[in-house]
Structure 1
Amino acid sequence: MLKIQEIRELIKLIDESSIDEFSFEHEGSKLKMKKVKEVVVQPTVNTVVEQIPQPMVGHTPQAAPASQKESQSATAPVSPSEETGKENLHKITSPMVGTFYSSPSPDAPVYANIGDKVSADTVVCIVEAMKLFNEIEAEVAGEIVEVLVENGQLVEYGQPLFLVKA
């Protein structure tokens, strides 16, 4: 029987390849994987409603939805100091296509918030792929400075999830 780590590695390899379906038989055990093609409908520019953030006393900044970030980055110029600051940050990326979850269950606390200190083996989130929940580790010691995705959001392979100041 295959170990869970071996199955995870197979999923990762299949996910990164152009193979749509994979079958494996070994010592009476069978494993079959099939990629499901999802159709993602992108909203048109006309349907995006921009909200102007109002300053709030004692408000902790939250990660903006991806559509808001894209519209803000397209309209707001980035200063050289901001670019330099982000270049020095480590990106924790998604190792697979799946659904991002910030906590192990809806009623549990999130794995990592902005300002949290993490070590290389700290679990920062879960990415669900093909009904398997994969714990994602920080892989670097430092402090979480930005959460780039929302809970329940679909993520792509290699998509940045967190920025960490090492």
Structure 2
Amino acid sequence: MLKVQEIRELIKLVDQSNIDEFVYESEGSKIKMKKNAVETITVSQPQQVAIPAVQPQQVAEPVAVQVVQSAPTQPVQEVVKEDTSNLHKITSPMVGTFYQSPSPDADVYVKPGSKVTKDSVVCIVEAMKLFNEIEAEVNGEIVEILVKDGQLVEYGQPLFLVKPE
């Protein structure tokens, strides 16, 4: 949530600009400012806060904006997607944070091209301060890592593609 001083600075910036309306949304909070409308600016979140608006001294003329689309100068290349139907997906057994290594300064468990067995640990999913080792479930080769280190993952979300042996 923005602090009162930051909101005041936003009010000044909107007042000095040519825009008539400004909307800011972040983490469930919403700030909406209008120059030629209501005399108050409201911040909506679980609790309402009203801040008096700064009266503009001079309202600028509306500015017309024109969007021009140009034809592409280079031919569009088609992306050929590889058939992944024969690949095994290692999925997350829980909601948590994905980590590729046991600690920040350690090597990753696996990378594309790594050979794995059913019992090989491929990553860690942290849930509620518990670090859960995720195993490969099949013998094969890691083809692709589908998530980034430190990314939040959902239950059942694919983490790796493995080419079974």
Normalising by structure 2, report the TM-score.
0.52
Distance in structure 2 (CA, Å) of the matches to 1:110 and 1:125: 8
Distance in structure 2 (CA, Å) of the matches to 1:77 and 1:106: 38
How many pairs does the alignment contain? 91
- The runs of 5 or more residues in structure 2 that have no matched partner are 1-25, 28-75
* Displacement of 1:76: 8.2
Distance in structure 2 (CA, Å) of the matches to 1:153 and 1:104: 15
Whichever residue aligns with residue 143 of structure 2, its letter is V
Superposed, 1:34-113 pairs within 5 Å as 79=80, 82=82, 85-113=83-111
Distance in structure 2 (CA, Å) of the matches to 1:112 and 1:98: 19
For the pair shown, the structure with the greater C-alpha radius of gyration is 2
Which of the two has greater helix per residue? 1
* Displacement of 1:95: 0.1
> How many percent of aligned residue pairs carry the same amino acid?
74
Runs of 4+ in 1 over 3 A off after TM superposition: 75-79
RMSD: 2.1
Superposed, 1:99-138 pairs within 5 Å as 99-138=97-136
- The runs of 5 or more residues in structure 1 that have no matched partner are 1-39, 42-74
* Displacement of 1:122: 0.1
Structure 2 vs 1, CA of residues 129 and 163 (structure 1 numbering), >3 Å: closer, same or farther?
A: same
Distance in structure 1 (CA, Å) of the matches to 2:137 and 2:77: 32
Normalising by structure 1, report the TM-score.
0.51
2:23 maps to what in 1?
none
